[in-house]
Structure 1
Amino acid sequence: MAQYRREMLESEMKKLITQGFSQLKDPRLKDKFIDINMVRLSKDKSYLDVYVSSLDEDIDTIINILNNAKGMFRTLIAKNIKMFKVPEVRFHKDEGIEASIRINKLIEKIEKNEEGK
């Protein structure tokens, strides 16, 4: 039962954070495609880890901007979800996409080497 509740909270928080992206007024985020790949709420509900990816090359800058605005996201969660303790929001770079691209490139390279033999 507790796992189900945590998954529901994660889903709602993901929606709220996505809505919060539109409220950010930083010009560096204008016209940037930001995708939330995964949201994980800690077991004690004190931390919300948000894994973000972007098609833009400056993902580290985007992560820094989002981490600087994490108070706004926490306030947004507090206003919309009734919880005893509102989690601290932490944004992380999701490296899963980059890893899969690297793996695909390696596979293509191996296939080209195999064809050349």
Structure 2
Amino acid sequence: MAKEYRKEMIESEILRLVNTNISNLRDPRIQDKLISATRVELSKDKSYADIYVSVLNGDLDEVIEILTKAKGFFRSLISRNIRMYKIPEIRFHKDKGIEESIKIHKLLNEIKGETDE
């Protein structure tokens, strides 16, 4: 019970750190993009942190590549702000949840438009 609570606290703190510091990256390719880390999943042994990212106005693959190159920045940020025995290896992944919800919303609107006619 206590271990699960600690894991959730670490995940939420990593999520907060990543979201507040994405804008500190100096890569000009992501300066005008709205990037958001949506969730963090920490492995049971806390050696890996899977961070799911979504982008509203840009290429998600390119953003994942840029963030992957900057994972050392995020690891050092985590090490300075969270007391942990071992700092997790960071892996960035696409979060397609927002894209999928937009698709579903469009489909529902199309269905609603067909039934109104």
Does residue 96 of structure 1 match 2:97? yes
Alignment-derived partner of residue 109 in structure 1: 110
User: SS at 2:50's partner residue?
Assistant: strand
Alignment-derived partner of residue 24 in structure 1: 25
Q: How does 1:1-117 map to 2 (within 5 A)?
A: 1-116=2-117
Report the Cα offset of residue 86 of structure 1: 0.8
User: SS at 1:56's partner residue?
Assistant: coil
Distance (Å, rounded) in 2 between the aligned partners of 1:97 and 1:23: 24
Report the Cα offset of residue 54 of structure 1: 1.5
Cα distance change, pair 115–58 in 1 and its aligned pair in 2 (3 A): same
Report the Cα offset of residue 114 of structure 1: 2.1
Q: Point out where structure 2 has 5 or more consecutive residues left out of the alignment.
A: none
Runs of 4+ in 1 over 6 A off after TM superposition: none
Which deviates more from structure 2 when the two are superposed, residues 40-49 or residues 73-82?
Answer: 73-82
Q: Point out where structure 1 has 5 or more consecutive residues left out of the alignment.
A: none
Distance (Å, rounded) in 1 between the aligned partners of 2:7 and 2:105: 34
Distance (Å, rounded) in 1 between the aligned partners of 2:96 and 2:16: 21
Report the Cα offset of residue 37 of structure 1: 1.1
Letter in 2 for 1:107: L
Across the aligned residues of Structure 1 and Structure 2, the Cα RMSD in angstroms comes to 1.4
| 2:15/2:38 contact within 8 Å kept | no
- Give the number of equivalent residue pairs: 116
User: SS at 2:24's partner residue?
Assistant: coil
Letter in 2 for 1:73: F
User: TM-score, normalized by length of structure 1?
Assistant: 0.90
| 2:23/2:31 contact within 8 Å kept | no
Distance (Å, rounded) in 1 between the aligned partners of 2:20 and 2:46: 21
Distance (Å, rounded) in 1 between the aligned partners of 2:67 and 2:109: 35
